[in-house]
Homo-oligomer: A and B are copies of this chain.
Amino acid sequence: MNSDEFRQAAKQLTDYIADYIEGLRTRSVVPDVEPGYLNELVPDAPPEQGEPWINLFNDIEPVIMKGMTHWHSPRFHAYFPTANSYPAICGDMLSTALACIGFTWNAAPSCTELEMRMMDWLAQMLGLPDYFHFKNGGPGGGVIQTTASESTLIAILGARTKILQKYGLDNKITNNDDDDDENGENKDSKRYDLLGRMVAYTSNQSHSSVEKASMLSATRIRLLPVNDEDFSMDVDALRRRIVADHERGLIPMIVIATLGTTNTCAFDDLYKIGQLCSEFEIWLHVDAAYAGSAFVCPELRHYMNGIEYATSFTVNPHKWLLVNFDCNAFWVKDKSLIEDAFNVNPVYLKHENQNRILDYRHWQIPLGRRFRSLKMWFVFRSYGVDGLQKHIRKQIELAQLFGQLLKTDERFELIDEIRMGLVCFRLRGSNEMNEKLLQTINHGREIFLTPSKVNDKFIIRFAICARTTNENDVFYSWSLIRQYAEHLFDL
């Protein structure tokens, strides 16, 4: 494909994309395929000779769309939203085409510097504490990670390094067995002894990625119980556990609090947890992957009361803030806390400006990184703060609308109050009935919802996801859910 062919191809694709997005309401949300469907559609070997663009373009519908779950259908209500907006697509196009790898400042100065600026813009929009802003010259700041999973892992690793340092060690596992410190103690044994004593705490409602991060980092984790009424972490249980662990010689290291859990959009009490962390000098990491975007609206910031105790904070603009995946935002109070955890400095990455500004390679697990702040820049400027607030408020209103509809029918029950854009509900009846209902709804392929389980109750999650979902879509979904329930159970 030469440059003229590219001009043609990318313009044809642009129209296809706009038609696709605007036409999503006419497609079934869930595809009608069985595992293995694609094997008959794509040959099992690559072509020897190149093919013209039109062959590729003509295969998009019969191969890709045939097996696509349309996340941006206005009737997609599964999981949590993933962002999609036109300015983000443009920003990403430019990023792809520049194809610079901004691991150091020198490797692409605009990539590092725009990211710093955008992380400051976002911190300001969300009302985060001053210490997270670069512009305050403080030791803290923000970075774009791929996902919240990585941000949580990085927070755990940062907390671990901090404790190792407290005991005169670093994160680097020495190459030499006989590397004793001045007291004659072997550093490796000391390190593994400490690792085995460090403990992370989170609630049993936190995201699966928290448990995964503990597995990856070999960190002992406590999944604490939650309060019955709102599924927030039981802070008294947390205190008891921390005290007990401390007394047993373990080292309480980090608490991962969630603002907006995946199951029910529950909010942990940051203020109480923060006081506890402060008392015991424990790292407080706040996972606001979904709900954090809502803090662009000042009237919703009461949900993060206590944020001033956070050592690190993460939110996914690629969920609810119209910046396409991947774009996870992560802030840390003092950048040395994470730079120390990852610092490897080969000669081939050294440059003469490395002490004058930051190198983001020390802030993340991979070395390579895309120019992702372009998407943020384009989205934040296209929408303005006002446009982003309108988006959040509209989605919350739609969730409230669905909740009102649900309350009109006493055969259904709401699980907890409605927070943000998520409604959790169930048929009054057995778990089996609800499982059957959900399965039937999704087999219908017109709308898509996902399950969860709290207190052994099978529940159905209805999330407002697509940017284009409107009142009519909510009415449509509600009528469909009622009909399925009536038909299935002869209600």
Is A491 in the interface zone, CB < 8 Å from B? no
With both chains docked as a complex, state the minimum distance between the C-beta of A80 and any C-beta of chain B, in angstroms: 9
A366 with B82: CB separation less than 8 A: no
A44 — which chain B residues lie within 8 A by C-beta? 117, 120, 135
In contact, B114 and A324 (Cβ under 8 angstroms): no
In whole angstroms, how far apart are the Cα atoms of A350 and B439 in the complex? 12
Interface band, chain A? 35 or more
Q: In the assembled complex, how far is the CB of residue A105 from the closest CB belonging to chain B, in whole angstroms?
A: 6
Q: A149 — nearest CB in chain B belongs to which residue?
A: B366
Among B5, B114, B325, which residue has its beta carbon within 8 angstroms of that of A86?
Answer: B5
What are 25 A-B pairs with beta-carbon distances under 8 A? A1-B85, A1-B86, A1-B90, A7-B18, A10-B86, A10-B89, A13-B94, A31-B109, A39-B113, A44-B117, A49-B387, A55-B381, A67-B109, A71-B101, A71-B108, A82-B100, A84-B99, A146-B366, A147-B368, A157-B216, A173-B220, A207-B367, A209-B344, A347-B451, A352-B439
How many copies of this chain does one complex carry? 2
- Is the C-beta of A356 less than 8 angstroms from some C-beta in chain B? yes
User: Is the beta-carbon distance between A172 and B215 smaller than 8 angstroms?
Assistant: yes
Cβ-defined partner of A370 (8 Å) among B64, B326, B345: B326
- A211 contact from B35, B222, B344, B458, Cβ within 8 A: B344
A68 contacts partner chain B, Cβ-Cβ < 8 Å: yes
Q: Does A384 contact B (CB under 8 A)?
A: yes
Chain B residues within an 8 Å CB radius of A93: 10, 13-14, 17, 89, 92-93, 96
Q: Provide the bound-state CA to CA distance between A149 and B18, in Å.
A: 36
Residues from chain B with Cβ under 8 Å of A71 in the complex: 98-101, 108
- Interface segment among A189-197, A392-400, A470-478: the answer is A189-197
